[in-house]
Structures are given as C-alpha cells and as structure tokens.
C-alpha cells in the first residue's frame, strides 16, 4: 500500500539500517492504515447488508440463461461431450451447463466493481476534497470498500449456491484445491481489471458529470462477451477469437471454466489478465493525476 507522508519526500543518503528501519516503518504504517480502512469499511458494509444481499440476488442472470441453454443441452442419455453426435447442439450436457453458470455467477459476484457510482456520489457530495487532503491515495479507500463488500457478500453467495445445489443435486461437485486457489487468484485479477476500467471512467467525473453513463455503455459488451449469458464454447470460432482480444472473457468465462473444471489455457489466460492490468494501471494513474490537476484548477 502506497502511503504518502508529508515531510519525508526529499531523500538524502541514508545508511542501510536507516533505510531498512524506514521501510519497516512505512510497511507498518501501511498495514495499520489498511487494517483501519478495511475494518471501518466492513462495519459500513454490514450496515448495508440488506442492500448487499439484494445486490447479490440481482446477479441471477446466469441462472436465467441456464434455463434457456438447458433446453439445448446434450440429453443426459446421449453421448459424452466432444463426440460430435449432437448436431446443432452446444456440446455441453446439463451438468456441465449447470456448473458453468453457477461458476459464472460466483465469478461475477466477486469481481463486481462499483467505484464509478461511489466516486460520483463522493464528488457530488463534496467528500472528495477532504479525501484529497489526506496523505493516502483516495482510490485505496474504494479498494478497501470493495474488498469489505465482497466479504459481506460471501454468506449470501454461499446461501444462493446452496439453494442451487438443492434444486440441482446432480451438479454438485468438489473442485480440486489447486483449481480453487487458481480460481480465487483469477477472480481477484478479474476484479482488478474491472476495478481499473471503472476507475478510469470514474476519474472522467473530473471532466464531465455524466461519466457514469459511459459505464452503462461499457457494461453492454461485458454482458455479452464475458460469458455471463452464454458459455464462450457456443460462440462461432471467429467471434470467440475476437472476444479474446477484449478483456471481457477473462472477467467471467475464464474463472468460471477454471472452477467448473473445464479445459482452459490457464497460463495464457493468466498472462493475458496480467497484461491487461499492466496496461490499465498506468492509464488509471495518469488519468488520476490529470484529473486532480483539473480538479484543483477548477477550484475544487
């Protein structure tokens, strides 16, 4: 966590001991700030738990789409996937479809970002100016809020998944520990991409009041290309290839397939996600600096 402290900006030569001590102090300070931020945000999110529960519930789109695709699934008595016997079918059986859409639901739940709305609200309510005066990059505040919100969301997601397995006991499975670890990592990377993309839009609030409308537009390709409404396998190859040039398939489809146990190019996908993050991060930071400059020029 990067923390800006006034007074220690100009650095002169220091002994190694001083450097280590300074670094330790900074780490310690960063840890304290992180802990305080997280726990206060968690208390706040618990206040909004009803909202969070409803929001978790509003992510049911994958289940609705499961209903649609189920009719087109390979019949359970038929041949296994990949045998090519189901002409016109989608090459996935009911259980595979159920698992995929459940995992897509979970991936979406823990990679949701809403920094645009929080930031816009803070800007409108005039809370931004005090944040800018604090020796802490304000975006960290939103990161903490998102992580706290994910923790609040966890029990509701578990509950929804439990109900799902009650209704579809055949779909129940235990992923391997390695897959679980990889999925958690993938979902966090997906969250980072989502958060950075939204932050860029949020920062545009410095220029235009209507920046959040852009988020609405960005959501549309996300909705259709991320794998939330259809598994990417059913896309024609050219469209699938095109989709993989965007960050969207990595945000839902990849973590979902990873968790559901499908065959996915793991290393290449992780590399692509890291690539997107290393592209978005500098853009976000540059935009932020320009935005703050404009904000102070406009008289805050």
Partner 1 sequence: MAIIRAETLSKTYRVADKQPGLAGTLRHFVQRRHRDVAAVKGVSFTIEAGEMVGFLGPNGAGKTTTLKMLSGLIHPSGGMAEVAGHLPQRRQADFLRQITLVMGQKQQLIWDLPPLDSLRVNAAVYGLDDATARRRIAELADMLELGEELTRPVRKLSLGQRMKAELLAALLHQPAVLFLDEPTLGLDINAQARVRAFLADYNRRHGATVLLTSHYLADITALCPRVLLIHEGGLFHDGSLRELSSRLAPCRLVRLELEEPRPAAAFVSYGEVEACDGRDVRLLVERERLTEVVARLLADLEVRDLEVSDPPIEELIGRLFRQGAVT
Partner 2 sequence: MATPGLTALGMKGLLRYWRTLKRFWGSALASQMEYQVNLLIEVLAMAGNLAGSLLLLWLIYGRGQQLGGWSLDAALVVLGIYTLLDGVSSTLLRPNLGAIVTQVQQGTLDFVLLKPIDSQFWLSTRTLSPWGLPEIVTGLGLAIWAALRAGARPGVATLLGGALMLLSSVVILYSLWFVLATTSIWFVKTWNVTEVLRAALSAGRYPISAYPAGLRTLFTVVLPVAFLTTVPAEAILGRASGMWLLLSVAVATASLLFSRWFWRLALRDYTSASS
CB nearer to partner 1: pick between 28 and 35: 35
Which of 19, 36 has the CB closer to partner 1? 36
Decide: residue 191, CB within 10 A, 0-12 exposed, 13-18 middle, 19+ buried: buried
CB count, 10 Å around CB of 12? Answer: 4
Judged by CB under 8 A, the chain residues 232 through 271 that form the site for partner 2 are: 234-235
23, 38, 179, 220, 282 from 27: Cα distances, Å: 6, 16, 31, 40, 23
Give Rg (Cα) of the chain. 22
Whole-angstrom Cα distance, residue 213 to residue 92? 37
> For partner 1, which is the closer residue by CB, 124 or 286?
124
Interaction partner, residue 162 (partner 2, partner 1, none; CB < 5-8 Å by kind): none
User: Is residue 124 a contact residue for partner 2 (CB under 8 A)?
Assistant: no
Residues in 196-225 at the binding interface with partner 2, rule: CB under 8 A = 210, 213-214, 216-217, 220-221, 223-224
Cα 142 to Cα 116: distance, rounded to the nearest angstrom: 10
Is residue 81 involved in binding partner 2 (CB under 8 A)? no
Given 10, 76, 82, 88, the residue binding partner 2 (CB under 8 A): 88
Q: Does 125 bind partner 2 (CB under 8 A)?
A: no
Instruction: Find the helix packing angle between 49-57 and 138-167, rounded to 10°.
Output: 60
Tokens 């006991």 correspond to 169
Q: Is 70 in the site for partner 2 (CB under 8 A)?
A: yes
- Answer yes or no whether residue 51 interacts with partner 2 by CB under 8 A: yes
Cβ closer to partner 1: 19 or 43? 43
Question: Quick one: tokens of 257?
Answer: 């397939």
User: First CA to last CA across the chain, in angstroms?
Assistant: 26
Contact 65, 230 (CB under 8 A): yes
Q: Does 298 bind partner 2 (CB under 8 A)?
A: no
Nearest to 199 by CA among 115, 87, 105: 115
Nearest-approach distance from CB 155 to partner 1, in angstroms? 11
- Of the pair 49, 216, the CB lying nearest partner 1 is at 49
Is residue 158 close enough to count as binding partner 2 by CB under 8 A?
Answer: no
The first and second tokens of residue 274, run together, are 């890291």
Instruction: Give the interface size with partner 2 as a residue count (CB under 8 A).
Output: 33
Minimum distance from residue 189 beta carbon to partner 2 (Å): 25
Partner from partner 1, partner 2, none contacting 68, C-beta within 5 to 8 A by type: partner 2
State which residue, 47 or 51, has the beta carbon closest to partner 1: 47
């Amino acid at each position: 966590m990067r923390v800006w402290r006034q007074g220690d900006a100009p650095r002169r030569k220091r002994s190694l001991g001083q450097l280590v001590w300074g670094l330790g102090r900074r780490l310690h300070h960063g840890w304290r700030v992180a802990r305080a931020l997280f726990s206060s945000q968690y208390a706040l999110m618990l206040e909004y738990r009803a909202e969070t529960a409803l929001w978790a519930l509003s992510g049911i789109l994958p289940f609705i789409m499961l209903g649609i695709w189920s009719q087109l699934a390979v019949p359970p008595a038929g041949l296994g996937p990949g045998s090519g016997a189901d002409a016109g079918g989608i090459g996935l059986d009911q259980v595979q479809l159920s698992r995929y859409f459940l995992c897509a639901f979970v991936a979406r739940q823990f990679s949701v970002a809403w920094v645009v709305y929080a930031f816009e609200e803070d800007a409108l309510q005039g809370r931004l100016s005090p944040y800018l005066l604090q020796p802490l990059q304000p975006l960290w505040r939103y990161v903490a809020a998102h992580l706290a919100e994910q923790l609040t969301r966890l029990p509701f997601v578990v509950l929804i998944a439990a109900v799902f397995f009650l209704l579809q006991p055949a779909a129940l499975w235990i992923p391997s520990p390695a897959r679980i670890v990889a999925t958690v990592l993938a979902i966090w990377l997906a969250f980072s991409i989502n958060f950075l993309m939204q932050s860029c839009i949020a920062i545009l609030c410095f220029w235009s009041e209507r920046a959040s409308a852009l988020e609405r537009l960005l959501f549309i390709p996300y909705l259709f290309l991320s794998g939330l409404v259809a598994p990417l396998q059913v896309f024609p190859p050219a469209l699938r290839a095109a989709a993989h040039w965007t960050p969207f398939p990595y945000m839902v489809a990849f973590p979902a397939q990873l968790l559901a146990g499908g065959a996915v190019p793991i290393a290449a996908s992780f590399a692509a996600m890291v690539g997107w993050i290393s592209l978005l991060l500098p853009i976000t930071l540059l935009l932020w600096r320009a935005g703050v400059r404009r904000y102070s020029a406009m008289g805050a």
